[in-house]
Amino acid sequence: MSSSQFDHKLSGPSLAFQPLYQQVAEYIKQLIVERRWQPGEMLPSEFKLADEFNVSQGTVRKALTLLTDTKIVTRRQGVGTFVSEHTAQDALFRFFPLQADGKGADLPKAELLSKELVEPIEGVQTALSITAKDKVVKLKRRRILDNEFCMLETIYLPSKRFPDIEKREDIPHTLYHFYQTDYNQTVFKTRDSIKAVLASKSDAKSLGIEKGMPLLMVTRVTESIDGKLIEYRESKCRTDHYHYQVELD
């Protein structure tokens, strides 16, 4: 429609072979990437979107259902559809699976140990699909639960996606919300790999444990809503009275 505020092109070459509702879903996702709607903001009604895209309301409903299933948007019964936002509660139940034995989920605090702009080592290059010439920001933190150090984290971020983040003095405990609001980098998928390791002398000193104690090494690669790799992190987790819990549905 010539009067459309979105200047949409549902029949573009990248979408032409998809069912119409998937084309609508992809285009809505692209508008979210472009920040036409901010995190937590309500989308126009199904009727309004259908009119804008010149499709049926049923097609829009199927598109929004698809985006809801992938957690790009959130639907509130009787209210409307909202751009998903990475709140502290969301980070707790979706992205921080370490729990103290015999206790429920709790969001830990984070102590920032260092932040610097560095050249990526080979493993980081591979994880983030970057080259040795691409700078990364390296953050080192340790996590605290019940006034006890429970985890060491080393986080690598492509500097081109997080410009000058190493100069920030206000880096919060909850990074994914920070990425979304301050750098327009919305976490969409994470992939974790877990293996057992022994605490080094440095690990032991940082966590207040004995050298050689068993730890869980969790490596995570994080993808944004637009399919870009935006974070690689290595976490060393205590196992003496903590466990790694994941719920699948």
Per-residue pLDDT of the chain (249 residues; tens, 9 = 90+): 334 455 555 555 555 577 899 999 989 988 988 888 988 899 999 999 999 889 999 999 999 999 998 888 989 888 999 998 876 666 555 677 788 888 766 778 899 999 999 999 999 999 999 999 999 999 999 999 888 999 999 999 999 999 999 999 999 988 998 999 899 999 888 999 999 999 999 999 999 999 999 999 999 999 999 899 999 999 999 999 888 877 655
Provide CB contacts within 8 A for 173, sequence distance 6+.
Answer: 88, 107, 108, 109, 110
Long-range contacts of 126-135 (CB under 8 A, 24+ apart): 127/156, 127/219, 127/221, 127/229, 127/232, 128/156, 128/158, 128/221, 128/229, 128/232, 129/229, 130/158, 134/158, 134/159, 134/160, 135/159, 135/160
What is the model's pLDDT at position 167? 95
What tokens appear for 68 in the block? 């809801």
Domains of the chain, start order: 20-83 (1.10.10.10), 88-244 (3.40.1410.10)
The 8-class DSSP code of residue 161 comes to T
* Contact indicator for 152, 142 with CB cutoff of 8 Å: yes
What is the model's pLDDT at position 228? 94
What is the model's pLDDT at position 84? 86
What is the model's pLDDT at position 177? 87
What is the model's pLDDT at position 8? 53
Distance (Å, whole) CA 236 – CA 29: 34
What is the model's pLDDT at position 146? 81
What is the model's pLDDT at position 13? 52
